[in-house]
């Protein structure tokens, strides 16, 4: 088992609410980027897009959230292409649409006479 210092646990607990908020910001930015540009962004392109509203952001505010969201099934990579920022071939990111909610099955009363007519 990995040993984690108490200070690390305290710091993690302290930043948990802001991490959830940042995840929501990243998801929102992914959707807005896709709507505006018509394509999925790379991590650096998404960072630049988010820096328009918050210039203090750095890559460590965005890239780890993409991985966490991917592990949670809320984002996915959609392929590779050349990044407009780094000019390297890297993954692009997109949000995952929520799965449709299943319609509950409602048991209907059986009509035996109708069943017999079917066969």
Predicted confidence pLDDT, tens digits, the chain (119 residues): 556 566 666 655 555 545 568 899 999 999 999 999 999 999 999 999 999 999 999 999 999 999 999 999 999 999 999 999 999 999 999 999 876 666 666 666 666 665 666 55
110: in domain: no
In this prediction the pTM is 0.67
- Residue 2 lies inside a defined structural domain of this protein: no
Whether 104 is covered by a domain: the verdict is no
Judge whether 21 lies within some domain: yes
- Number of domains into which the chain is organized: 1
7 in a structural domain:
no
Q: What is the pLDDT of residue 21?
A: 86
Residue with tokens 């069943």, as numbered in its chain: 115
What is the 8-class DSSP label of residue 106? -
Determine contact, residues 119/80, Cβ cutoff 8 Å: no
Contact 77, 90 (CB under 8 A): no
For residue 18, the model assigns a pLDDT of 52
Range of the domain at 25: 14-98
In a domain, 112, yes or no: no
């Amino acid at each position: 088992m990995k040993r984690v210092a108490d200070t690390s646990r305290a710091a993690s607990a302290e930043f948990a609410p802001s991490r959830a908020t940042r995840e929501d910001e990243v998801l929102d930015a992914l959707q807005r980027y896709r709507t505006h540009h018509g394509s999925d962004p790379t991590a650096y392109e998404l960072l630049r897009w988010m820096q328009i509203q918050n210039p203090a952001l750095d890559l460590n505010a965005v890239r780890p959230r993409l991985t966490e969201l991917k592990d949670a099934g809320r984002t996915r990579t959609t392929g590779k292409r050349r990044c407009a920022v780094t000019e390297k071939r890297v993954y692009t990111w997109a949000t995952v649409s929520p799965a449709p909610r299943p319609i509950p099955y409602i048991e209907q009363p059986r009509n035996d006479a109708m069943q017999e007519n079917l066969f």
